[in-house]
Amino acid sequence: MICVLLYIRQKKLNRMNAYSFVQHLHSGFRYIVLVLFIYTIITALLGWLGNRPYTNGNRLANLFAMISAHIQLLIGIVLYFISPRVVFNDTTMKDAFVRYFTVEHWLMMVVAIVIITIGHSKSKKATAPTAKHKIIALFYGIALLIIIGTLAVGHISILK
């Protein structure tokens, strides 16, 4: 039975082209990013509002959330250059679907990742534990809202 499942899985992978593979990778990796950000924001809020110490675990969670967002961006950049949804012609800005994937989606994701990176850098420079938690909660929270808002505008389900 396991051999049959592996054979079927292998056949499906062989039929996947580069675009399909990268698109599935980008779509699947978003769950890792989402879970890390929700966890990081909740722990930062609890640390900030509960006046808790800033631990090495907090630092690592913040770092892994930022790294996962950057990896997602790199996968997205590859997808951007091989996607049939990204079109450069005189009708790009007139077609909402094409405009979203050619301009709006990547631009807002870059903005969100810049905010994440700035927040991570500022939290490293802060000395007080509550300041570190507050910075992460605010910057990562704003970035997550930008990400969710951008996906909603493009009618992309976050939990699809």
**Per-residue pLDDT at 155:** 79
pLDDT in tens, 78-128: 999 999 889 899 988 998 889 999 999 999 999 999 999 999 999 999 999
Give the C-alpha distances (Å, rounded to integers) separating 98 from 10, 80, 93, 103, 108: 33, 12, 7, 8, 15
